[in-house]
Amino acid sequence: MLSAVPAMGSCEPVGLVHSLESFGSVDGPGVRFVVFLQGCAMRCQYCHNPETWACTSSSQWTPEALFKHALRYRSYWGKRDRRGGITVSGGEPLLQMPFVTEFFRLARENGVHTALDTAGQPFREDPEFLARFDRLLEQTNLVILDLKEMDEEKHKALTGHTNRNILAMARYLSDKGIPLWIRHVLVPGLTDDPQGLKELDEFIRSLKTVERVEILPYHTLGRFKWDRLGIPYPLGDTRVPTREEVEQAEAILHTVEYTGS
């Protein structure tokens, strides 16, 4: 994989990159250049990229080198409405905030739309974190936030972490006026109970800047990665949701009502 490391003595932050996608169509509006970063503290039972958990990578980029590489694909992003742009995902991109902030700054300087795809787990409300987070938000056009489960105990069982800080981040983004897309992975028997979905809908409706809500049906396409890494897969008997189950969840979450940004 192509990479670009800084010269000796450089003060640029370096991004630990898992992979790049030059023609992404599902991670934000329009066609997008998508950067998947390494590192994630969550251990979601349905994770399809467990190889991104570790904060290590043989592919390291400076923000400037990666942005120059991304610009090769600018013709894909739309010449009239410029709906496309750049999305940084993971792993968890908030674990590499200095890198993402500088990468997004270069993009915004050049009129490129920026989207941050995050699960929010690193969020904290202490002044030091918020100062760094605010610098990132100044360069961010859109946040795509994965809300996995409203019940805190279920969230801990599902991911290994509480959701209190994640819900707090959603409120913070709403209060800051940051456009939001909300995603929810629908797992039969795990994240699909109607009461939990109704509580999620109520929470989403309490936010002021949500532009879109998406249901992502659970799939098993990443299971082979667990096997390859020697990690026991916890959802071995879990089936994928039916089209009817997805439509029922979409109705509860009013996805059509929000969609259209």
Which domains does the chain possess? 15-258 (3.20.20.70)
CA gap 116, 139 in Å, rounded: 10
DSSP class of 16: E
The pLDDT score that the predictor gives to residue 222 is 82
The pLDDT score that the predictor gives to residue 112 is 94
In the three-class reduction of DSSP (H, G, I as helix; E, B as strand; rest coil), residue 184 is classed as strand
The residues near 251 (Cβ < 8 Å, ≥ 6 apart) are: none
Q: What is the dihedral of CA 36, 41, 42, 46, to 10 degrees?
A: 50
Taking a C-beta distance cutoff of 8 angstroms, is the pair 133, 139 a contact? no
Q: Which stretches of the chain drop beneath a pLDDT of 70? A: 1-12, 79-82, 256-261
The pLDDT score that the predictor gives to residue 256 is 58
The pLDDT score that the predictor gives to residue 77 is 85
Token readout for 68 is 């120059």
Residue with tokens 């992003």: 77
pTM of model > 0.85: yes
